Amino acid sequence: MSSPLLTTARLTMPALGLGTWPLKGRDCEEAVESALGLGYRHIDTAEMYGNEAAVGAGIATSGVPRGEVFLTTKIWHDKPDGPAFRAAFAASLERLKQPYVDLLLVHWPSPALNLPSVLTALAHLHAEGLARAVGVSNFPSALLRQALALDIAPIACLQVEQHAMLSQQALLDITQPAGIVMTSYTPLGKGEVLEHPVLTRIAARHGATPAQVALAYLLAKKLVAAVPKARSAARQAENLAATRLVLSAEDLAAIAALPKNRRFVNPDFAPAWDPFPA
């Protein structure tokens, strides 16, 4: 089974990918190999995960041609200017043993972020073909608007936490009209949103699992991708099969009506987030 593709002017990517945090070492390599064997063609890693070497090894041992895999990495927020960002990305490519990545993201904004300088580095890396597409992660709407207004780098993707209990509507209002893909991280709410009775009821009605419902809800949105993390082949297959689940307008409305006020990833260095909807 394969994931449907999202295509914009700036990239083509499988809507469903594999998240790899906090997998490490052999465990991570096996998870990547297993996912690619099942038909995944989109893998999400980051410098900070400490698993880029394992991800690269998993891609290599899978036997899937590199050109078929959409590989994302991210550079940590302690590289707040272009030269530091570039140097860190060169080290990422070495660990991954890859000549390029498909998507390179600024992992988090930091208070020290020199936005024009980092965007300039992204633009150059894109022009040089080392990053086939570029984007940002964990940018709230004011900062995303600022990055887009600068018009330095061709931002193709925004990766943020999004799930049945966090809508990110303020950001979708920017990304969808701009043709930017929003990649949902923590799309299963770390497994917690799966116990909600609204999700379990919809799942039972479709003969699906709550995880599949949680993912199908996100993937039904325009230009939204998701990168659930699953270690076992069984859960990886379950999550990939969510791309075939079509929820009714009534199902989508019932999930949309749930409170959207849960954020699972909120480190002390996080930016001032957009407020939850009233």
Closest to 228 measured CA to CA, from 74, 23, 12: 23
Quick note: the x/- pattern for ligand NAP over 156-175, rule CB under 6 A, is ---x----------------
* Residue 56 touches ligand NAP, criterion: CB under 6 A: no
Region near ligand NAP per CB under 6 A, out of 113-121, 124-132, 147-155, 186-194: 186-194
* Residue 185 touches ligand NAP, criterion: CB under 6 A: yes
What does the DSSP 8-state code read for residue 199? H
Is residue 49 annotated as part of the catalytic site, yes or no?
yes
Region near ligand NAP per CB under 6 A, out of 94-102, 123-131, 234-242, 246-254: 234-242
Other CB atoms closer than 10 Å to residue 9's CB: what's the count? 8
Q: Are strands 12-14 and 5-7 parallel, antiparallel or unpaired?
A: antiparallel
Q: Which entry of 49, 100, 185, 217 is annotated as an active-site residue?
A: 49
Can you tell me the distance from the alpha carbon of 224 to that of 13, in angstroms, rounded to the nearest whole number?
A: 10
Distances (CA, A) of 74 to 94, 117, 163, 199, 220: 14, 16, 21, 31, 26
Within 91-150, the residues that bind ligand NAP by CB under 6 A are 107, 137-138
* Residue 188 touches ligand NAP, criterion: CB under 6 A: yes
Give the nearer residue to ligand NAP in terms of CB position, either 64 or 211. 211
Give the nearer residue to ligand NAP in terms of CB position, either 128 or 274. 274
What are the structure tokens assigned to 16, written together?
């469903």
Give the nearest distance from C-beta 150 to ligand NAP in angstroms.
Answer: 21
Looking up tokens 């780098």, which residue turns up? 153
Classify the phi-psi angles of 50: left when phi > 0, otherwise alpha if psi is within -120 to 50, otherwise beta: left
Quick note: the x/- pattern for ligand NAP over 63-92, rule CB under 6 A, is ------------------------------
Amino acid at 215: L
**DSSP secondary structure string, 213-257?**
HHHHHHHTSTTEEE--B--SHHHHHHHHHGGG----HHHHHHHHT
- 29, 33, 44, 52: residue in contact with ligand NAP (rule CB under 6 A): 44
- Chain position whose Cβ is nearest to ligand NAP: 19
Give the nearer residue to ligand NAP in terms of CB position, either 11 or 227. 227
Can you tell me the distance from the alpha carbon of 264 to that of 165, in angstroms, rounded to the nearest whole number?
A: 10
Give the nearer residue to ligand NAP in terms of CB position, either 12 or 232. 232
- 194, 213, 216, 225: residue in contact with ligand NAP (rule CB under 6 A): 194
> How many Cα atoms within 13 Å fall on the side-chain side of residue 214?
28
* Residue 244 touches ligand NAP, criterion: CB under 6 A: no
Within 250-269, the residues that bind ligand NAP by CB under 6 A are 265
Spatial strand order of the sheet with 181-185 comes to 18-19, 42-44, 70-75, 103-106, 134-137, 155-161, 181-185, 224-226
Residues designated catalytic: 49
Applying CB under 6 A, the residues found at the interface with ligand NAP are 19-21, 44, 107, 137-138, 159, 185-191, 194, 209, 211, 227-232, 235, 238-239, 265
